[in-house]
Structure 1
Amino acid sequence: MTNAVLYEAPGPQAKRRSLVASAAVGLLLLAVVGWVLYTLGTRGQLTAEKWGPLLDPTNGTFTALWGLMGTGLLGTLTAAALAMVFSLVIGTLLAITRVVSAPWYRWLVVGVIELLRGIPVVIMVFFAFRVLPSVGLDLSPMWFLVIGLTAYNSVIIAEIVRAGILSLPKGQSEAAYAIGLRRGQVLSTVLLPQAFRAMLPALISQLVVIVKDTSLGFIVAYVDVVREAQVIIQNLGNPIQTYIVVGAIFILINYALSRLAVYTERRMSQGRKGKLGAVAVDDTGRDA
């Protein structure tokens, strides 16, 4: 079955129109970038005085500035890593509970998931910051941020994992039960590995959201890269340059996370092919 069944292949005129449209969009983007650079240049935003502290190692404030950035980046990565781990663990447990538990308990989990999904993440973080100390949990700002991020993202991940489990053919779990596996073994060895593999792009997208949401740490006075950027701006008066660098840092982190996901998926696929090849060789040897 070819793709022509689903849509017609573009002809010469369609290809020409597509090429012209792509060139026009490219020229428009170049014009916008040129206009932005021209505007920044006329307003003195491209001078060495503005960019030197961030990009020039010979600048007197370069080392101190990147020391602050490094401290903030460490805080961002620490909060993001903790929120990722807790969200994945709690989200997986919620997904399992919703799939296999008794109906009355399942509806309780559904209620919790729907409640937390409907609350903005900034409210979650602020709620943890204001409410937890009043009940005796006087934690550091980092934990207020992590708790808020985990409460929001764990229910999203729960729905992603649940969708992955439900997308699998029922025959797989039925076959696993038929050979004597218990429910826990079916989940851990058959369903969950395939669900994670199937939903890996969606999971990575949610982990990227967690990294970006760590920028909300400023509302709980957490020292992250955004808060340190504000300190730099107050001292140097270069908000455009500083926020461009911070944005580039977040882009690099999220790109690295995406590449890690691609690498993990490739390794998982190779491992699966290797196991299938070993089984095929073993079966051939037995038949011989």
Structure 2
Amino acid sequence: MNDDILFDALGPKAKARLRTVSILCGIVLLGLLALVLVKLGASGQLDPARWAILADGAMLRFLLQGLAMTLLVGVVSTVLSVAIGVLLALGRLSRKRWLSWPSAAVIEFFRAMPLLLILFFFMFGLPLLGVRVPIFWQLVLAIVAHAGAIFAEIVRAGILAVGRGQSEAGHAIGLRHWEVMTFVVLPQAARALAPALISQTVRVIKESSLGYVVGIAELLNNGKVLGEFSGDFIQAYVGAGLLYIVVNITLSRVAERLANRKKTLVREPS
């Protein structure tokens, strides 16, 4: 068995069974899709006039404005989450217990908490404490608290994956511990974890859809408003969903390219 794979290769019988199950699942899914289309057609939802809102310039601009806000929330949240994640990861890996134990507690706490509950804290909990936060930052800080803990574990795994010899070589030439981490270990970990970091960024962008809870004019919220304005809810949400798909597939392809590039570099003979 190769080191690249997690399981043994499937035999002829297993491949045949897998092919049969895949075909049956495909038939079931096609049947369900046909049923949905029949129901939509019977209710007039497939009428071309209803889908005209997705070709209307003003309506499309409204959705794109929501997409711009979604991307802004995603970018700001990702940058802050990565920064906090790196600090938490370094704290958890610290040899000083007064730093590693609180870092581990923070990471595990926010990883276990539902994002919506964290968002409710920033929406309703902070005002009770006399702290007022703009709605944009209510959403961003909630995402950062949740995603930062996940990024911390991703970064920690990357640091631990770097060979101990790299750190020892850095110490051997007189570098301090923080210099070894900053200039030797973290750059190698970042390159190795680029696909995982991008995949988590996709998740952050999808989590920004919770902006409708706080009333931010992001993509999902604008789709909701567009549906209420036109009366074509299905079409408006389909349009918003397509924009999400385009963005997320684009980022996923970038992650795949980085992963493939990494495999190519590793397999190239020195």
Match of 1:223 among 196, 217, 239: 217
TM-score, structure 2 length as denominator?
0.87
Q: Give the equivalent residue in structure 1 for 2:48.
A: 48
**Aligned in 2, Cα 1:39/1:134: closer, same or farther, shift over 3 Å?**
same
Match of 2:124 in 1: 130
- Cα displacement string for residues 189-242 of structure 1 (whole angstroms, at most 9, x for unaligned residues): 322122223333332232111111111111211111111111111111112121
1:208 equivalent in alignment to 2:209: no
- Deviation string 1:71-119 (CA, Å, 9 cap, x unpaired) is 2111111111100000011101111122135112211211222222222
1:29 aligns with 2:23: no
Q: Which has the larger radius of gyration?
A: 1
RMSD: 2.7
Matched, 1:82 2:76: yes
Cα distance in structure 1, aligned partners of 2:143 and 2:10: 46
SS in structure 2 of the partner of residue 260 of structure 1: helix
Which of 100, 111, 122 is the aligned partner of 1:106? 100
Letter in 2 for 1:72: G
CA distance in 1, matches of 2:57, 2:169: 61
List per-residue Cα deviations over 1:110-155 (Å, max 9, x = no partner): 1222222222111222222234455565443111111111111101
8 A contact 1:126–1:219 mirrored in 2: no
CA distance in 2 between counterparts of 1:23 and 1:119 reads 39
Q: Does 1:63 align with 2:64?
A: no
- Number of equivalenced pairs: 266
Matched, 1:247 2:241: yes
**Measured at CA, do residues 122 and 19 of structure 1 come closer, stay the same or move farther in structure 2, by a change above 3 Å?**
closer
Q: Partner letter of residue 248 of structure 1?
A: L
Given candidates 137, 140, 150, the residue that maps to 2:144 is 150
Equivalence for 1:286:
none
- Give TM-score scaled by structure 1 length: 0.82
One of 85, 88, 107 as aligned partner of 1:94: 88
Unpaired segments ≥5 residues, structure 1: 57-61, 281-288
> How far apart are the structure 2 equivalents of 1:157 and 1:179?
30
Counting aligned pairs with the same residue, the percent is 37
2:193 equivalent among 195, 199, 207 = 199
Cα distance change of structure 1 residues 10 and 110 upon mapping to structure 2, 3 Å threshold: closer
Unmatched segments (≥5 aa) in structure 2 = none
Q: Secondary structure at the match of 1:199?
A: helix
Query: For the Cα contact (< 8 Å) 1:197–1:265, is it kept in 2?
Result: no
Contact 2:192–2:262 (CA under 8 A) maintained in structure 1: no
